[in-house]
Each structure stands twice: as C-alpha cells, then as structure tokens.
Amino acid sequence: MEDPPLASLSLTHVHYNPADRISYLCAWLALVPQGLCVVYATLIWSNREIEIFLMFAGQMACEALNWVLKRYIKEDRPREMHGKGYGMPSSHAQFVSFFSVTLTLFLLFRHVPHPTETHTPFTFGGRFLLSLIAIACAGAVASSRIYLSYHTNKQVLVGCAAGAIFAFVWFGFTTYLRRAGWIEWALETWILRILRVRDLVVQEDLVDSGWARWEDRRKRQASFRVQGKKSK
C-alpha cells in the first residue's frame, strides 16, 4: 500500500511570491499574531501582571468576535487566494488593530509609572511615540494581507475597524472593573494569590521591575567583598 500524501499545517503556511522581496517580507509579517501570542504567554508566566491577563483575555474575545463575524457575513476571499475560509473581516487586521489600540490606550491613559532612585520611566512623549510605532507596525501587518491577496481592501479595513472599536469597548470595560473594585477583589481571591498575580505595571515601569532589589544586592555583595579584603 502506498503512503498517503502529506498535508500542510495551515496555521503558519503562508503563500508568497519567492521572486518578490516585499511578498517575502509580508509572509513574515503574517506570523506577527502568533508571535504576539508567544509574547503574551511569556509575560503572563514571568510577570503575573493582572493587566496583561486582561489584555490577553480581550485579545481572545476579539478573536472570538472575528470568528462570529466571518460566519455571519460569509464573504469569500479574493479569487487569487489559494487558502480556505471566509475573508470578512480580516482576522490578522483585527488582531493587530486590537493589540495596537489597546496598548496605546494603556500607555497614554492608564500607565502612570513613577520614577525611582535607579530608573526614570518613559515620559508621556516617549509613550506616545511608542504608541505610534505600534500602530504603524499594525498597519504594516494589515497591508501585508492585501499584498499577498489574502484579503480585499474592504475586508482589511473592516478588520481594522472591528479591532479598534472592540479595543475601546474592552478598555472601557476593564476601566469599570478597576473603578468598581472588581480587580482588587479578584487579586484577593485564593486562586490569584496562589498564582501570585499582581497589579504593579500600572504604576511601575516593567524595565525597573526588580531592578532596585538587584542593585541593592550588588551593593551588599560589593560591601562584603571590601570588608573581606580589609579583614585580611
């Protein structure tokens, strides 16, 4: 008996023109959502920040919304597309739009880091510039879907709009949870206490997280070495 033909894992199988460098770049841009999911998982595991939990939950809810919209609208992809499934709205565009807009809202309206003895956090201008970069990168990912003929202009624009609108809705919802005390209540539950979930990133710069403790330890170790040399 002959072996059955091999199949391609469609999750990361992206068609592009190997003779076109822009097409090759767009194929890599198509992997950005998967990369962001790895970033989410890494930050959640390493930092245990409730804000990152909330953002990831909103990201998954946005994906669920895209799944529903595609099966409700039932608009086909462009004819040049070799893949399967509906194309309205673009899931890539909706994913990166939600991420960039949510990150922008957090950096500009919720994140108020305080300077410490060892670190000066980004100014508002720096956070604004970072937000612009995030939005520009999202635009590049969304545009790549048109260039690769995976979606029409309209499908990408609707995806961007759906992601941005849902980002504002989710940000408003999480703002309500904070002001109503639900986040503080959740952080006191036994399961989040066991998982050591915390809420520091709103007022503490991630770059400075743990740095003061590290600097203090280095100073103590240096002091011990100096004292050891003097005792000899």
How far is Cα 11 from Cα 3, in angstroms, rounded to an integer?
24
Q: What is the pLDDT of residue 57?
A: 94
Q: Which residue has the higher pLDDT, 44 or 210?
A: 44
**Is the pLDDT score of 119 beyond 90?**
no
Q: What is the pLDDT of residue 15?
A: 79
How far is Cα 80 from Cα 75, in angstroms, rounded to an integer?
15
**Is the pLDDT score of 10 beyond 80?**
no
Strand blocks (E) in the chain:
none
**Is the pLDDT score of 182 beyond 60?**
yes
**Predicted confidence band of residue 5 (pLDDT cuts 50, 70, 90):** low
Q: Is the peptide bond before 115 cis (omega within 30 degrees of 0)?
A: no
Instruction: Say if pTM beats, i.e. exceeds, 0.85.
Output: no
Q: Which residue has the higher pLDDT, 183 or 84?
A: 183
Q: What is the pLDDT of residue 210?
A: 66
| Exposed / middle / buried, residue 98 (Cβ in 10 Å: 0-12, 13-18, 19+) | buried
Q: Which of these ranges, 123-137, 148-162, 187-201, 215-229, has the smallest mean pLDDT?
A: 215-229
Helix/strand/coil percent split, the chain, to 5: 65, 0, 30
Which of 71, 54, 127, 61 lies closest to 94, judged by CA?
61
